Chain A
Amino acid sequence: MSTERLTVRKTYKLYIGGAFPRSESGRSYVINDGQGGFLANASRASRKDVRDGVTAARKAFPGWSARTPYNRGQILYRVAEMLEGRRAQFVAELRDTGLGKNAATEEVDEAIDRWVWYAGWADKLAAVLGSANPVAGPFFNLSTPEPTGVVGVIAPDSPLLGLVSVIAPAIISGNTCVVVASEPAPLPAITLAEVLATSDLPGGVVNLLTGHRAELAPWLASHLDVNALDLAGASADLTVECERAAAENLKRVLRPAESDWTADPGLTRMKAFLETKTIWHPIGL
């Protein structure tokens, strides 16, 4: 008689500063599959985890933003290669959320391709968004895009494609981020974090939290060391609350919009988290 093998369940933790801690609060919440069955427990992050995430993101910012764009592009492309290697796992996780096989496969493929698309932007943004300005005087005058700093991201419910579509544009230009994953479907986010952790991406560039958006987002929105917010996954009420809180230190806020994550993303998300720096210098002997 054969005994059925007992599966080893995966513990889903947070991803902060390159490490995988549990929530400092010790809390977790139940994630169900598409049929309402138990899937896993996810960490339920607290405001202190938000704080730790921001600290890690800030710490990583100088180094990450100082990398050459080519290097950032290479690192992101390497992440895509590793995602490709985990295709099956992501497909399975998406199916757990209730997607059919084809839909899940398509979303994974789309997500990897999206990541590759953004990877290529690293060393092109300055050429496309910058400008040499013809001023009326003996001055060299150049405008270049620069990362704004730490971006707080409220990820949408599209658990993988939506997630990569908000992370990649934030970090490709040199920002670091603290991401609140989809509340009902956070597991692919943690799997993505495992990919990031084993890639060349420096710890702290992406910090992933799972938990209740309504609880976590306002802490990100009011944190004075956060420079920008992507509210992609915020509800209307949460958006208003976060936008108000973000006003305190004049965060750049990207409001949620009707998003078809499979559509061409354009430059909007990248531009939202870029500053334009203009440098003047006299031209003379």
Chain B
Amino acid sequence: MFEYAPAPESRDIVHIRPSYGLFIDGEFTDAKETIKTIDPATEEVLAEVGSAGPEEVDLAVRAARTAFETVWGPMPGRERAKYLYRIARIIQERSRELAVLESLDNGKPIRESRDVDLPLVAAHFFYYAGWADKLAHAGYGTKPLGVAGQVIPWNFPLLMLAWKIAPALATGNTVVLKPAETTPLTALVFADICRQADLPPGVVNIITGAGETGRLLVSHDGIDKVAFTGSTEVGRQIARSVAGTSKRLTLELGGKAANVVFDDAPLDQAVEGIVNGIFFNQGQVCCAGSRLLVQEPVAEEVLARLRTRMATLRVGDPLDKNTDIGAINSAVQLQRIRDLSEVGEQEGAERWAPPCELPEKGFWFPPTVFTGVSQAHRIAREEIFGPVLSVLTFRTPEEAIEKANNTPYGLSAGVWSEKGSRILWAAQRLRAGVVWANTFNTFDPASPFGGYQESGFGREGGRHGLEAYLEH
């Protein structure tokens, strides 16, 4: 046997302070209340961060307003562009530090934070930097909205920050951003990066805290725009809270993506796509391919290959460079995954996971597949947001599309076939904002992302991503 020895990435590059204040108007200021953030792989407390209350949220919004009116709004696009380019470069320079910190705070494998998150973060800033002085050519006008209140989730902390802040700043808005309660640290390093880049104070304000802080932010009268990524339930609450205001809103919410494998699929790549679709980031991905729809003639073969492949997945220390599946982000999330998996069993689906030893401390869940699932099962309808795949079968392409679309969500979908016309046929009919054909979970700053129906509205990325931040 060829055993891979532990290959841990060094933590030395990261200097976590015992406590962090709120980043308001270019300064870190202590908050009245604090919360702790932990390493989900060890449950060790990493740091204490502020929990912004009403006054602090108000200060941040005011700082953003002043910066919008006095500095950032009036600044020519080409100057804004240079700040964003500068930020992009600093992110590249500090990418290893940020990757390690992201893995520590979030639990995701360093291979992903290093090879996926961080390159995409830098690319996103580069991409939108270039738009700052070209807005007149984008087709959405050139007038910024003002102050954007942005609330982001814990699954891709820094990447979601980039998706929010880069287009907002490029279009001349200023922001108050609230990172997720369990993953505030990279956002706080980003605050430091803003200072390093000499970004004018108040253009970016980072206020940490839990759900209440987010609620205070999105309901604050002083903001013109709300951008939220997170659960559909919270999305609904936000949509209600902006009703009757003039605030613009974009929401990127949950999903229950179908990954449709036709009998003429490139099977080995399809299996990789299935694995990448549901086990990337421990399945804590809104666009995860959590429903595998496989055509009956190849169902057995695909499942056999999938099980073999799953047995090679390496679960454990997020900082180990060979880890494929890291820790679940929080005890709460772990409990949800456990609960829904139990429901899956109770409803009669067959559960399988490869034998794998899980660490004693921390929050862990093995890569799991449920077979014999039907659309009626809760695990086929509800977003589990974990490394749990539900497998359904179909007989005809029409049936595949019907099942794929039979959900209130519509964020992403996958389709696997070697036949070009079938791919396009399916892609046309899948009601989802992103259709990955013969690939899955690929991302790029130039490519718009966002959902249909209850997966939210508005697009992030690409030229389309500018629309949410311009008045037109």
Contacts and interface: CB of A to CB of B under 8 A. Distances in A.
Interface of A: 128, 131, 133-137, 139, 141, 143, 148-149, 224, 227, 236, 239-240, 243-244, 246-250, 252, 255, 266, 268, 275-282
Contacts of A239: 243-244
B239 A281 contact: no
Contacts of B68: none
A264 B453 CA distance: 29
Interface of B: 123, 139, 232, 235-237, 239-240, 242-244, 246, 251, 253, 408, 410, 423, 427, 432-439, 442, 444, 446-450, 452-457, 459, 462-464, 472
A122 to B, nearest CB: 17
Contacts of A250: 232, 235-236, 239, 251, 253, 453-457
Contact of A275 (B123, B433, B437): B433
Contacts of B242: 243
A34 B180 CA distance: 58
Contacts of B459: 276
Nearest to B119: A136
B435 A278 contact: yes
B433 A277 contact: yes
Contacts of B434: 277-280
Nearest to B236: A247
A139 B236 contact: no
Contact of A244 (B232, B243, B410, B433): B243
Contacts of A236: 244
Given A240-B244, A243-B243, A278 B232 contact: no
A141 B244 contact: no
Nearest to A244: B243
Contact of B448 (A139, A143, A249, A252): A143
Contact of A279 (B239, B243, B410, B435): B435
21 contacts: A135-B442, A135-B444, A136-B446, A139-B444, A143-B448, A240-B244, A243-B243, A246-B243, A247-B239, A247-B240, A248-B236, A250-B232, A275-B452, A276-B464, A277-B433, A278-B433, A278-B449, A279-B435, A279-B437, A280-B447, A282-B439
Given A141-B447, A276-B459, A278-B434, A148 B243 contact: no
Contact of B462 (A139, A143, A246): A143
B433 A276 contact: yes
Given A250-B456, A252-B457, A280 B439 contact: yes
Nearest to A227: B453
Contacts of A252: 457
Nearest to A144: B428
Contacts of B449: 278
A276 B450 contact: yes
A133 B446 CA distance: 6
A280 B436 contact: yes
A276 B450 CA distance: 8
Nearest to A247: B239
Contacts of B462: 131, 133, 143, 278
A16 B267 CA distance: 48
B437 to A, nearest CB: 4
Contacts of B244: 236, 239-240, 243-244
A131 B131 CA distance: 15
A9 to B, nearest CB: 41
Query: What are the 8 closest A-B residue pairs judged by CB atoms, nearest first?
Result: A247-B239, A243-B243, A240-B244, A135-B444, A281-B437, A247-B240, A244-B243, A133-B446
Given A131-B462, A278-B434, A139 B439 contact: yes
A239, A247, A280 pick with most chain B CB within 10 angstroms: A280
Nearest to A268: B472
A59 B214 CA distance: 40
B447 A281 contact: no
A151 B360 CA distance: 52
B438 to A, nearest CB: 5
A135 B408 contact: no
Nearest to A134: B446
Contacts of B423: 281
Contacts of B139: 128
A275 B143 CA distance: 23
Nearest to B459: A276
Nearest to A281: B437
Given A133-B446, A275-B410, 9 more contacts: A131-B463, A137-B444, A139-B442, A227-B453, A250-B232, A277-B434, A278-B462, A281-B439, A282-B439
Given A134-B446, A141-B447, A280 B435 contact: yes
A259 B235 CA distance: 29
Contact of B438 (A137, A249, A282): A282
Nearest to A132: B446
A133 B448 contact: yes
A97 B463 CA distance: 45
Contacts of B457: 250, 252
A255 B248 CA distance: 10
Contacts of A131: 448, 462-464
Nearest to A284: B438
A277 B464 CA distance: 11
B471 to A, nearest CB: 11
Contacts of B239: 243, 246-247, 250
A276 B244 CA distance: 26
A281 B432 CA distance: 15
